[in-house]
A and B are shown apart, each in its own frame.
Chain A
């Protein structure tokens, strides 16, 4: 199984760039439960609270006892591939362009049957497999059968690579390469096989010695980009917009001010200008380019990544203005995601807890290192998810927020995490 080539073949300029097509994406509200888990990279299935029967496809009442008390629960995906076939004809444009396509029927150990996409590296039926949830190009959950042991490399399968945004062989813009997180992201993407990385540099007169060493990486090019300046964003989009396959927005302004602190208004404006308006400026200039190249061969435009913060979910008062700016960015990212998915481009948000950098100096451990954050970002691109909560603090907040958002608000208002 050959990896996708590091350097995609150059395109023939006299041929029309294909337009993106999307797989069927209508889902019932209850079926979106599958998507909600897949967005976090998890497989969850409905389970009956009364008779414990696992349900598939998602439904309103239990297929065994007709109880309506169905709840979503993580599933280990252990299953048997019972039958398989290869699809050679399809009316749907998306599949028609990609035929032949291997599909199969698996029987979960919980007894439900499901139709799945079958990974190239899975042997012939019958055999043991693991079922995973993934997001397709329309952002909806699909089920995959992969080998039962180890981590399945979706990129190794030419069809299932579509479910990922693998950075290998791709050209990537990292909007701020100077921050600790930005530097770590650039290095991690280089290691992950990115063909080209443009690292944005605002205020070039503020020299960061470590960031300067990024220039030593052969695939990295520092480019002027200040997301507070519409002109700067417009200029860079004009120069490289039509080349960018993945945009990673690391531009971030973090001030640790409570809302009544002196200077809070000016600091908050700067935070909003970078964290919210910066994203808006980038979206206006770069999103049309990404959408236009979403079907441009094996190294097509695939993803937009935002480094947000777990403080976007619920305000952390000691960092009150920062939390608000990240909440604004989260809301905007939902509008951008809706727009990008019309062309099959995925938007991934990362929600790290406190990062081990200057601005979270006074936060107690555990703190996420910039390297760990960058690693989580690469894993998200190589895999198939759109909401990433890296580290213990983020996982803990996510769980508490999902369980009782009001309780989390009260806990945070005590000034503690």
Chain B
């Protein structure tokens, strides 16, 4: 009798915890939408690069498996293959163009529940964004690393990063329209900015962000294969059930806080990520 009661209590407690987690996400969402609705005017900002065959995919040693770049073959274009209609067959890797990384993408997140794009909570697809402007540093140093100090300096000006927010690292890297400059490879690998390992740990455990977003190919720095651990942003973020967004653009059009980002990846069974349309709802400032 006593044992049965104890079991019931435990079950109820588990249920309560789970309910709370979903409620929290929904409550957050409601709160953000209400504050957005209170704004007299809204701007929409497209944070997505155009998918095209010219957009460079991640570079790995050639003996490894390769992410297929975006390719498009016309099925018909108002011709004998389809007299009145135009459409295409597409092929690409999940991690092509502006894309989303789900926790299952990394070995550290492989055993988490609901870790693939088809099982992620819908409420996570709309979330506020904190945008840290690292563009001056990235311009001066392609290997610039975002540290805890940078984040805390940002917080002193704009307030504490709210749990469940995207942390978006603005570098203006997306303005490099030449794919060679965008990849920025030399014989020692890629040189692109990203977060350092301590910073990622801080954002995950001290700030409980929803995920980390960048303008480069990968949420990690170009040289992150040599960090401890390798690819810390992938390792820690996905290990904690957090997400990644990469190859974003127009981050320079977002305010440091206040924007709501819509990022809903395709619903692919056991998908590790996918290209997607990312955009932001930005409250326009009151006119004085």
Interface residues, chain A, with chain B CB atoms under 8 Å away = 203-207, 226, 228-232, 255, 263, 266-267, 269-270
- In the complex, whether B183 has a CB less than 8 A from a CB of chain A is yes
Stretch at the interface among B58-66, B103-111, B228-236: B58-66
- In the complex, whether B71 has a CB less than 8 A from a CB of chain A is yes
Q: Give CA–CA (A203, B182) in the complex, Å.
A: 12
Residues from chain B with Cβ under 8 Å of A269 in the complex: 68
A203 in contact with B63 (CB, 8 Å): no
Interface residues, chain B, with chain A CB atoms under 8 Å away = 53, 56, 59, 63-66, 68-69, 71-73, 179-180, 182-183, 185-186
B71 in contact with A266 (CB, 8 Å): no
**Extra inter-chain contacts (10) besides given A205-B56, A255-B63, CB under 8 Å:** A204-B179, A205-B183, A207-B180, A207-B186, A228-B71, A229-B53, A229-B69, A229-B71, A230-B72, A231-B72
Q: Give CA–CA (A226, B186) in the complex, Å.
A: 21
Residues from chain A with Cβ under 8 Å of B180 in the complex: 204-205, 207
Residues from chain B with Cβ under 8 Å of A206 in the complex: 59, 185
Residues from chain B with Cβ under 8 Å of A266 in the complex: 65-66, 68
A232 in contact with B53 (CB, 8 Å): yes
**Smallest CB gap from B53: residue in A:** A229
B63 in contact with A205 (CB, 8 Å): no
Contact with A270, one of B53, B66, B185 (Cβ below 8 angstroms)? B66
Residues from chain A with Cβ under 8 Å of B185 in the complex: 205-207
Q: Give CA–CA (A269, B179) in the complex, Å.
A: 24
B56 in contact with A203 (CB, 8 Å): yes
The list of the 4 closest CB pairs from A to B, nearest first, reads A205-B183, A229-B53, A205-B180, A263-B65
| Smallest CB separation, B181 vs chain A (Å) | 9
Residues from chain B with Cβ under 8 Å of A205 in the complex: 56, 59, 179-180, 182-183, 185
| Smallest CB separation, A275 vs chain B (Å) | 15
Residues from chain B with Cβ under 8 Å of A203 in the complex: 56
Q: List 30 A-B contacts (CB under 8 A).
A: A203-B56, A204-B179, A204-B180, A205-B59, A205-B179, A205-B180, A205-B183, A205-B185, A206-B59, A206-B185, A207-B180, A207-B185, A226-B53, A228-B71, A229-B53, A229-B69, A229-B71, A230-B72, A230-B73, A231-B53, A231-B72, A232-B53, A255-B63, A266-B65, A266-B66, A266-B68, A267-B65, A269-B68, A270-B66, A270-B68
Q: Give CA–CA (A117, B59) in the complex, Å.
A: 56
| Smallest CB separation, A232 vs chain B (Å) | 6
Residues from chain B with Cβ under 8 Å of A228 in the complex: 69, 71
Residues from chain A with Cβ under 8 Å of B65 in the complex: 263, 266-267
| Smallest CB separation, A176 vs chain B (Å) | 14
Q: Give CA–CA (A294, B43) in the complex, Å.
A: 59
| Smallest CB separation, A154 vs chain B (Å) | 41
Residues from chain B with Cβ under 8 Å of A207 in the complex: 180, 185-186
Q: Give CA–CA (A406, B284) in the complex, Å.
A: 76
| Smallest CB separation, A273 vs chain B (Å) | 9
| Smallest CB separation, A279 vs chain B (Å) | 16
Q: Give CA–CA (A267, B69) in the complex, Å.
A: 14
| Smallest CB separation, A236 vs chain B (Å) | 13
Residues from chain A with Cβ under 8 Å of B182 in the complex: 205
Q: Give CA–CA (A207, B59) in the complex, Å.
A: 12
Q: Give CA–CA (A16, B121) in the complex, Å.
A: 68
Q: Give CA–CA (A204, B182) in the complex, Å.
A: 11
**Smallest CB gap from A269: residue in B:** B68
Q: Give CA–CA (A230, B71) in the complex, Å.
A: 8
Residues from chain A with Cβ under 8 Å of B179 in the complex: 204-205
| Smallest CB separation, A61 vs chain B (Å) | 52
**Most B C-beta atoms less than 10 A away, residue of A205, A255, A263, A269:** A205
Residues from chain A with Cβ under 8 Å of B69 in the complex: 228-229
Q: Give CA–CA (A205, B179) in the complex, Å.
A: 7
**Smallest CB gap from A253: residue in B:** B62
**Smallest CB gap from B52: residue in A:** A231
| Smallest CB separation, B95 vs chain A (Å) | 14
Q: Give CA–CA (A342, B59) in the complex, Å.
A: 43
Residues from chain A with Cβ under 8 Å of B53 in the complex: 226, 229, 231-232
Q: Give CA–CA (A400, B238) in the complex, Å.
A: 56
Residues from chain A with Cβ under 8 Å of B68 in the complex: 266, 269-270
| Smallest CB separation, A259 vs chain B (Å) | 16
**Smallest CB gap from A265: residue in B:** B65
Q: Give CA–CA (A228, B73) in the complex, Å.
A: 11
Q: Give CA–CA (A203, B68) in the complex, Å.
A: 13
**Smallest CB gap from B64: residue in A:** A263
| Smallest CB separation, A182 vs chain B (Å) | 15
Q: Give CA–CA (A205, B58) in the complex, Å.
A: 11
**Smallest CB gap from A204: residue in B:** B180
Residues from chain B with Cβ under 8 Å of A263 in the complex: 64-65
Q: Give CA–CA (A207, B64) in the complex, Å.
A: 18
Q: Give CA–CA (A206, B61) in the complex, Å.
A: 11
| Smallest CB separation, B144 vs chain A (Å) | 20
**Smallest CB gap from B57: residue in A:** A203
Residues from chain B with Cβ under 8 Å of A226 in the complex: 53
Residues from chain A with Cβ under 8 Å of B64 in the complex: 263
Q: Give CA–CA (A229, B72) in the complex, Å.
A: 8
